[in-house]
Structures are given as structure tokens and as C-alpha cells.
Homo-oligomer: A and B are copies of this chain.
Amino acid sequence: MAPKRGPKTRSLPPSRPTRIVIERVRPEIDCGRHPIKRVVGEEVSVTADIHAEGHDRVAARLLHRSGPEADWSEAEMVPLGNDRWEARFAVEEIGSHEYTIEAWIDHFETWRSDLEKRVEAGEDVSVDLQIGAQLIEEAARRAGGAEERRMLRWANQLRSRRPVRADGRIRAALDEDRARRIAQHPERRWAARYERTLRVTVEPERARFSAWYELFPRSTAAEPGRHGTFRDVEARLPYVEEMGFDVLYLPPIHPIGRRHRKGPNGALEAGEEDPGSPWAIGGPEGGHREIHPELGSLKDFRRLVRKAEERGIAVALDIAFQCSPDHPYVREHPEWFRQRPDGTIQYAENPPKKYQDIYPFDFECEDWRGLWKELLEVVRHWIDQGVRIFRVDNPHTKPYAFWEWMIGEVRRTDPDVLFLSEAFTRPKVMARLAKVGFSQSYTYFTWRRTAWELRGYLADLTRTELAEYFRPNFWPNTPDILTEELQIGGRAAFMKRLVLAATLSASYGIYGPAFELCVGAPLRLGGEEYLDSEKYQIQDWDLDDPVSLRHLIARINRIRRSEPALQQNRDLRFLETTNDRLLAYAKGSRDPSGGTVVVVVNLEPEFTHSGYLTLPTEELGLEPGLPFQVHDLLTEARYLWHGGRNYVEVTSGAVPAHIFRIRRRTRTERDFDYYL
């Protein structure tokens, strides 16, 4: 059993190893391989297991800085119990931040707490006071200056050779103020530093809180049949602003290929007048850096970006890294595409599906460096035109390493630029794209309908590690996805999905005007394609159709702006109801003055549903025994509730939800009739 012995060398480390262990630091994604994400002004709460052997006291500080070259700032960590410690820091600048932990044995505090016990036990502590004096003298030397002189005086007070059981010197030795001063000058020579430096990507607030509106510029003309232009989009800005959106996302605006152009409803043959899919990028007029002539000029585009900005709306551009057969790249850089043995270029496919109008890039080609750099330059080009947000088409069909490099390069010069990942694919792939840098991500929300599905999915998004790096953007519809629910549910289904998207997630978006006009006709039953999809043809929309949800959307976006609770996902929690068709959830500070919002959605809006809702009154900081007000921000109705269990009803026909703001009743006589 016992193998032969090897040589008896005695490897000992060059210097004495630290006694302190720092482990299980959170947040930490894949051992620090990826940064966590925050927006400007947010806090990072860092926790860790920190301990040493034996009974010595430990002290720890969180180290953080606004980049690898900045000086470290420090925050004292406090013990949470069970050897877990915590500290927080706020990230005040856009860019990359770093954090790590340092911890050491606090010899003075160890001595002080032991002294306390000895004094209590009535021991002679004269020798202990001398040890304390030594420790204070050491701290004094580290402090220097006036503090050194002050501390040396304290040390002298403790020096004594006669037996001491209780006197002024002991009180001095145990003084808490002094202890705090001494703790400011710890011996950190043997401190442990956590082995990894962890990173935070800090982005503008819009990375967390945003309302997106997608439209096809070519369908914005005032006169039916005309191809819309950037000037027409400009004219549409007040409409978008009134609805309360702050991101206007445009599908690709580049020249569209001719060869294999698709016709209405995806027909394989396009007619002469058919405009083709904007995602078939590139024609004789140019490629990814050019503008489709019928939309206007680059100057018009820059003007649109500026005009939108004046209304607080950011224009988001589509990045679709693929080419039509007519794209200049195909001629100039055939090496960037995969050739088949018959000399043709491999078009996009997901067998047996074929996309003959689209050539994918070969990210593994010999000249991958040339290709990657060119694509980065494309993004830089549009950044130079004023674009700060990109919605990236199908990122899950391009290598993770490409995105990590490309987004990293952009962030190095333009750390405020945001990227939304349009990946509808396997969960691990979606998560990885978020890890490598995407600011926001499309989600499975589109297909989560029942209370059980929504609770489970939101728990994944807000209660797991995903919350640290995956920022969901909830879309009830997209030009590719008209769900069965919207096809059959009518206006009520649109309202319900709107409320869910806009209140479950701090970021959401709709593809309009199809959404607000409650367009529900599919190309074919069982599919999710729109009939007469704008992807292949120009649409004339009647924005004044009485079916329109524009006013409801405006109200909901107003509520989102006025309620900080709805601008984040971190503290989302679901509430119990006695009717599982009523999905209820709360968001917002547990302190009611901070603003708690409670949403109740009727998941089956074709019927009136009612039941009892259980509010966690203690968690919400509501005083037991006192009534409180719930204010329905959708209808302005106010209800006086009492206790945790209250009746709720959502009637069919109306907006299928309540968005309640909990308002605490004040208790001074002066405020008797008012609510805070």
C-alpha cells in the first residue's frame, strides 16, 4: 500500500505565509474571468469569508479603484457573522473599476478584547498593560506626526510595574475612541491580499433603465406608398417622445442587396418595386458604412440623431454583420467568406433552412485579423456619427472572442457605448454573450406566459449570479416574433404583455407601430411571422386608429420614470395571491418612504379575476395595526388597506392590471388628512 518514498526536500516559502484566508468573494464571475456590471452611481456590495486560525481578531478592507492605474480607495469591511464580511462601494465613473480585499490580524483589538475578559475575571493585568503599551507604540510609529505623539502618551499611561486590577489606566486601555484611532494604523506587513483583482464594467444609467421603440424608417412617410426618410422619422419623434420612450431603434439603414432579394412575406422572388430586407446589407451604393439612398444622406442621419437627442431619445443602430451577395466586401474581400468546392460562396443556412440573400462572414478565415478590425471600424464609424447604442443582430452566430475583443476595444475609447444582444438561443450561450460584454440582452420573456413560468424565469434573472452581468430587455413583440398569445388575445393581451414587460423589467421595448396598433395577424397559423411583415415591404400605419395603446404606453412610461422602484430589477419579489391568474409582485425599497410599487396583473384578461393578495407588511415597513393607502397609478384610484391580506380584483375590459404605489399614512395630527 505504501509507495516508495521520494526525496526529502523541504520547500518552504521565501517569506512567512499569511495566516489569513480570504475566500468565496462575491460577486465574482467564473473566478474573475468576467467583470460584473453596474451603472453609474450604483453600489457594489462585496462579501467574503475571511478568517484565520485561533481566536485572534481579524480586520479587513475592501480595496477599489476606478481603473488599473488609479490609486486604491479602501472601505472597512464589517463582519456579518459566521466569518462572512461585507463592505460596499459606489461606482461614480463610467468605465472599468476594480476591487479586491486585504485582511490582517488585528493584534491590538485581540489584546483589547482579551483584556476586557481578564478585567471582568478580576485578574492582575499589569503585564497585559505593558503588552498593550507596546502595541500602541508600534501603531504610533506607523502613524507618525501629531498622532504619534498622542499615541505615545496613551502608551505611557499604560506602563506600570505594580499590580493592576481596576483603575483609570484600564479604562484608558479599553477606551473605544482610542481603539478606533489606533485601528487606523494597522500593521499590514503580514496582510493577506485576495489572489484575484475583480472587475466592474460601469455603464451609463440607460444600460439598466430604458424604454425602446423599434420602427422601420421606410414606413414613416406621411403619404401612403412613399418610401420613408430620416426626415420622416424626425417628424415621428414627437409621437415617440409622447409615448415616453428614450431609445429609438432602427433596423439596418444601409443599402440593400438585389441578388436573391426577398419579396413580400419572404417570397423567394422579389418584384422590381419590392424594397427587400434591410438585413440583406450591401449593394452597388455601398455596404455597412453607407446609407440606403432612399432614406436620405449621412447628414440627414446625423441630424436625426441630434434631433432625437434634444428630446432625450437615443437612436440605436442595428449591427448585422452579414452581407448581401452585392456587398462591396464580397468583391473586395472574397477571403472573408467561405468558398464551397464549386467556387460559390457559402450563404447562410441552418439546414434545411436557406438564406440565399445573406452571406455570413467566415470569422475563422486566414485573414481573421483584417476582418475583425474592419468590423470594429464599422462600429467606430457609426459612433463617429453620434450613435451610442447598438442592437446587435444574431451575435450568437459570431465567436464570443470576437465580441469580447470588439466591445472591449470600443469601451476603451468610448466606455459609454451600449450594446444590446439580440440572441434568442440556448441559455448558456445567451449568458456567455452577456459575460463577454453586452450591456443588455433579449430574453425568453416573449414566451413566458403563466404565473409559474414568469416566477421561475424572473427568479433566474434576479436571484442568481445572472443578476450581476445579464441585464434583461423584455420585448412583447419584435418584427420576427408575433407570439401566439398576441395573435389570439386581442387588445387585452397586448395591454397585459405591455404591463408585464414594463414593470417586471427595468428595460423593455416594443416593435411599433405594430404593437400599439395591436396588430395580430400572422403569416400562417402556428408560426410567429407577421402577415405582410415590414421586413419585406413598406407599411402604412394609421397611428390614430382608436385601437391604439399609445396613451396607455405613455402613462406606463410616465409611471416608470416617476417610480425608482421600476428602474431596477434587483429587489423584485413575487407576492402570494389566492388566484393563480393574478400575478402579483413588488419592487422597490423595503422602506415605504423609498417607494414600493406592487403590480397585480390579470393573466387571463378575457375574464374578471379576483382574489386575496398577501402583502409582506413587515418587510414593507408598514406599521402593524395602522391602515395604509394603495394608490393605483394607472387609474388614480386610491384604496385604504389594513393588514397583509387584501382583496384585489382586475375586471375584464379595462387595463388588465393594477400598478399600486404603497403610501404610508402619517401619524401627526397636522397630516391627518394627507398622505406622504
Binding site for B on A (CB under 8 A): 1-3, 5-8, 10-13, 16-19, 21, 23-24, 30-31, 33, 49, 51-55, 82-83, 93-95, 114, 117-118, 120-121, 123, 127, 130-131, 134, 190, 195-196, 204, 340-342, 344, 350-352, 363-364, 368-369, 372-373, 376, 380, 388, 395-401, 405, 409, 412-416, 426-429, 432
A399–B368 touching, CB < 8 Å: no
Contact of A3 with B94 at beta-carbon distance under 8 Å, contacts A340-B131, A396-B54, A428-B49 already known: yes
Q: Main secondary structure on chain A at its contact with chain B? A: loop
Q: Which residues of B contact A94 (CB under 8 A)?
A: 1, 3
**Closest residue of B by beta carbon distance from A364:** B16
Contact of A416 with B2 at beta-carbon distance under 8 Å, contacts A30-B23, A401-B17 already known: yes
Q: Which residues of B contact A432 (CB under 8 A)?
A: 21, 23, 51
Copies in the complex: 2
Q: Out of B2, B19, B195, name the residue touching A414 (CB < 8 Å).
A: B2
Contact of A396 with B340 at beta-carbon distance under 8 Å, contacts A118-B351, A376-B10, A414-B2 already known: no
- Top 6 nearest A-B pairs (CB, nearest first) are A17-B401, A121-B352, A31-B31, A130-B341, A117-B351, A5-B413
* Bound Cα distance A10, B377 (Å): 10
Q: Which residues of B contact A55 (CB under 8 A)?
A: 350
* Bound Cα distance A51, B368 (Å): 21
B53–A364 touching, CB < 8 Å: no
**Closest residue of B by beta carbon distance from A423:** B53
B17–A399 touching, CB < 8 Å: yes
Q: Out of B5, B82, B117, B428, name the residue touching A83 (CB < 8 Å).
A: B428
Q: Out of B6, B121, B190, B195, name the residue touching A412 (CB < 8 Å).
A: B6
Q: Which residues of B contact A49 (CB under 8 A)?
A: 428
A19–B364 touching, CB < 8 Å: yes
A53–B3 touching, CB < 8 Å: no
Q: Which residues of B contact A429 (CB under 8 A)?
A: 51, 53, 83
Q: Which residues of B contact A52 (CB under 8 A)?
A: 399-400
A51–B428 touching, CB < 8 Å: yes
7 A-B contacts, Cβ less than 8 Å apart?
Answer: A1-B94, A7-B413, A51-B426, A53-B429, A117-B351, A121-B351, A131-B341
**Distance (Å) between the CB of A36 and the closest chain B CB?**
16
* Bound Cα distance A82, B426 (Å): 7
B51–A127 touching, CB < 8 Å: no
Q: Which residues of B contact A376 (CB under 8 A)?
A: 10
**Closest residue of B by beta carbon distance from A340:** B127
Q: Which residues of B contact A351 (CB under 8 A)?
A: 114, 117-118, 121
**Closest residue of B by beta carbon distance from A159:** B341
Q: Which residues of B contact A196 (CB under 8 A)?
A: 31
**Distance (Å) between the CB of A164 and the closest chain B CB?**
13
A397–B53 touching, CB < 8 Å: yes
B350–A401 touching, CB < 8 Å: no
B19–A399 touching, CB < 8 Å: yes
Q: Out of B2, B416, B426, name the residue touching A1 (CB < 8 Å).
A: B416
Q: Which residues of B contact A1 (CB under 8 A)?
A: 94, 204, 416
B415–A21 touching, CB < 8 Å: no
* Bound Cα distance A190, B366 (Å): 13
B413–A6 touching, CB < 8 Å: yes
A373–B24 touching, CB < 8 Å: no
* Bound Cα distance A458, B21 (Å): 26
Known: A3-B95, A19-B400; 8 extra A-B contacts, CB below 8 A, are: A1-B94, A2-B416, A8-B413, A12-B372, A24-B30, A82-B426, A121-B352, A130-B341
